Amino acid sequence: MYSFEVDKPDSVDAAVSALQVEDAQALGGGQTLIPTLKQRLASPSRLVSLTGIAEMKGVSSADGVVTIGGGTPHATVAAEAASAYPALAALAGNIGDPAVRNRGTIGGSLANNDPAACYPSAALASGATIVTNAREIAADDYFQGMFTTALDEGEVITSVRFPVPDAANYQKFEQPASRFALVGVFVARFADGVRVAVTGASEDGVFRWSEAEAALSDNFAPEAIDGLSLSGDGMISDLHGSGDYRAHITKVMTQRAVRAAG
């Protein structure tokens, strides 16, 4: 770790202004950033901690929408979204281990957009809205590839709004070492159709599997996608699995998610 300054503002406005400093970086729960700093792979001049901002914390539910503050840890989502959006709460409750879940935040996860993170699949499959200090961004526009998002420099995710589907489920197939998603599939059935978002698999980060969405919108049953297959091209291929394997597992997890969503 190199030395750096730390700010801990208590409002979004103060955080945004603190982030104007050159080479300043926002710090959520630090579950990715702190290990990166310890390995000396990043050298921000200043960290602006977002954990002291009350207005960015908490889970609320109204009119079929669950809103989660950007600074809300996974464990809080697992506990407080359990009745309003059980599939999302279950996803949050199975990220990492208890230490990760008590520190890591939804805003941090979505801002980082790790290709193997769980949350991006929920946001994309739910058609969530990413709310920042400056604007609202539809999930379909937000995710722009591995570790790449629509966020501008210094822009802070203040909350995320999840429309609650009629049925949903997340299936994670874990990479054996890290237990991140080797493939994670979030399936959400709304009145106007089904959305399927896949994390962990693609070199382009989280993506929607449109053929599966069309088939499942017609018939929300595992066998509806029996005839579909994904190509291994463009899928991540590494020591834990080839692109073809990830493509295959995507289909298996999709079918399991549909079965579990009922």
Span from 145-153, 189-197, 203-211, 237-245 in contact with other proteins (CB under 8 A): 237-245
What phi and psi values does residue 103 have, to the nearest 5 degrees?
Answer: -115, -45
Give yes or no for residue 29 binding other proteins (CB under 8 A).
no
The dihedral through the CA atoms of 33, 39, 41, 47 has a sign that is: positive
Give yes or no for residue 190 binding other proteins (CB under 8 A).
no
Residue 62 vs 239, nearer CB to other proteins: 239
CB 166 within 8 A of CB 193: no
Span from 50-58, 72-80, 83-91, 240-248 in contact with other proteins (CB under 8 A): 240-248
Choosing from 241, 247, 257, 261, the residue that interacts with other proteins (CB under 8 A) is: 241
Give yes or no for residue 178 binding other proteins (CB under 8 A).
yes
CA–CA gap between residue 123 and residue 139 (Å, rounded) = 6
CA–CA gap between residue 185 and residue 199 (Å, rounded) = 6
Choosing from 8, 46, 240, 259, the residue that interacts with other proteins (CB under 8 A) is: 240
CB 139 within 8 A of CB 149: no
How far is CA 127 from each of CA 65, 138, 258, rounded to the nearest angstrom? 11, 7, 17
Give yes or no for residue 252 binding other proteins (CB under 8 A).
yes
CA–CA gap between residue 249 and residue 226 (Å, rounded) = 13
For the CB of residue 38, give the shortest distance to other proteins in the complex, in Å: 9
Applying CB under 8 A, what is the total number of residues that bind other proteins?
Answer: 15
Per-residue contact flags (x/-) with other proteins for residues 37 to 76, judged by CB under 8 A: --xx------------------------------------
Give yes or no for residue 173 binding other proteins (CB under 8 A).
yes
Q: Write out the residues near other proteins by the rule CB under 8 A.
A: 1, 39-40, 173, 176-178, 239-242, 245, 248-249, 252
